[in-house]
Structure 1
Amino acid sequence: MDQEGNSGVQEYPERKDVTFHVKHCVRPGASARYEAWLREIIKAASDFPGHQGVHILRPQESESNYEIAVRFSSEEDARRWRDSTQRKDLMASIEKDLQEREVIEIHSGIDFWFTPLGSTAKQPSRWKQWLITTAVIWPLTMIVPALWGPVFDILPILGTWGVSHGLVAASIVALVVYLVMPRVVRLVSSWLFR
């Protein structure tokens, strides 16, 4: 808690498929200890109900900021991990190697794409968000239906109007949320957040 009683955690309404974002600034010379600790905490998180995977953004050579995104199937699962004794004990063991208090945010599956960690972070322009999203989704709208085509030929019931659209849309959204968009945003972040 800070002096005003703020825990440093930004709360969001109850929802499904959430990402637990953590930002750590590691002290110089503590990277090896932090990496060992990171493997330990990732293993501990993977044992919790609703855990769906983890993505780590490591710092460039001259930097010290780590960003960890742990996916959970619900906000309740993410909170259970956040408030767990295991996590608190592991955080206590690494605090001396951090330059600042950790920043935690819990986001739904898509609202974190364009949200850098930290409440003072600048949001990118709407036109840049539109451009990146269009550039990601446009090719997928051509590729994904073609990939589903043979399945629709074999199982015509899946190719019926409405059902085929739902399967294609679900496939595109899954690819965008979990695979493509996090990588694209990281790749263009210097331009996007300028």
Structure 2
Amino acid sequence: MTASLDFQFQEHQPADPISLVIRRRIRPGSEPEYEALLTEANALLSRIPGHRGVGVIRPAPGEHEYTLLARFDSLTSAAAWELSPERAAWLARVTPLVDEQVSFEKQPGLDFWFTPPAAPQLRQPPRWKMALLTLAALYPVSLSTGWLFGEALRPWLGHWPTPLRALPQMVVVVLSMTYLVMPAVTRWAAGWLRKM
């Protein structure tokens, strides 16, 4: 019922970002207890160094499948969670509520941008397409934020040291790409991405 990650260090560098995607079908009537345990998992994960956020996709009405997405800055950080006694204790409490462990996956790098969570059987687009689409989306965002932080805000930020000036620009780029640009671009290019 529970699965453990098979960490393959030869495939992914320990410093690459990684997302763990866990899909579970919860026993009918156990949803409130599972929801409480999800809140607890979020608190536990927030204490793991390198943890970068959690997403939960709740089931549609009449369904019982939950998807938990945990993002980490590296495979090493993900392994720390996977092997932690806190996770083992949490899983022991979750197991009686689970009807079926649907899947347990690890997705390296930025792959979570391209994988629809509700389609576990969908194959990943070719990496060259993901790289090309990311470049096409990132280029205008990078140019516009470069202009904004390099020219438009120069009177306010020009005296800051370069690393400090770069930080707000990177925050804007990452947030824009994650929450605005990539979701829109991957929807727009979904047909092209699906063609292998």
Q: Same fold (TM over 0.5)?
A: yes
The Cα shift of 1:180 comes to: 3.2
Rate the CA distance shift 1:43–1:169 in 2: closer, same or farther, 3 A.
closer
The letter of the residue matching 2:91 is M
Whether the 8 Å CA contact 1:59–1:66 is kept in 2: the answer is: yes
- Alpha-carbon separation, structure 1, partners of 2:33 and 2:194: 31
Identity %: 29
Matches within 5 A, 1:57-72: 57-72=57-72
What 5-or-longer segments of structure 2 have no aligned partner? none
- Alpha-carbon separation, structure 2, partners of 1:167 and 1:64: 41
**TM-score relative to the length of structure 1:** 0.68
Q: State the match for 1:151 in structure 2.
A: 153
**TM-score relative to the length of structure 2:** 0.67
Report which stretch shifted further, 167-176 or 44-53: 167-176
The Cα shift of 1:185 comes to: 7.9
Structure 1 SS opposite 2:101: coil
What 5-or-longer segments of structure 1 have no aligned partner? none
Whether the 8 Å CA contact 2:141–2:173 is kept in 1: the answer is: no
Whether the 8 Å CA contact 2:137–2:185 is kept in 1: the answer is: no
- Alpha-carbon separation, structure 1, partners of 2:135 and 2:16: 25
Rate the CA distance shift 1:126–1:7 in 2: closer, same or farther, 3 A.
closer
- Alpha-carbon separation, structure 2, partners of 1:146 and 1:176: 15
- Alpha-carbon separation, structure 2, partners of 1:119 and 1:10: 20
* Alignment deviations for residues 105-129 of structure 1 (CA, whole Å, 9 cap, x no partner): 2333312221346874334589996
Report which stretch shifted further, 95-104 or 123-132: 123-132
Q: State the match for 1:31 in structure 2.
A: 31
Structure 2 SS opposite 1:37: helix
Q: State the match for 2:17 in structure 1.
A: 17
Q: State the match for 1:45 in structure 2.
A: 45
The letter of the residue matching 1:122 is R
Whether the 8 Å CA contact 1:75–1:106 is kept in 2: the answer is: no
Q: State the match for 1:105 in structure 2.
A: 105
- Alpha-carbon separation, structure 1, partners of 2:36 and 2:21: 19
Rate the CA distance shift 1:106–1:122 in 2: closer, same or farther, 3 A.
closer
Rate the CA distance shift 1:55–1:183 in 2: closer, same or farther, 3 A.
farther
Structure 1 SS opposite 2:17: strand
The Cα shift of 1:55 comes to: 1.9
Rate the CA distance shift 1:167–1:134 in 2: closer, same or farther, 3 A.
same
Matches within 5 A, 1:165-184: 170=170, 173-175=173-175, 178-180=178-180, 183-184=183-184
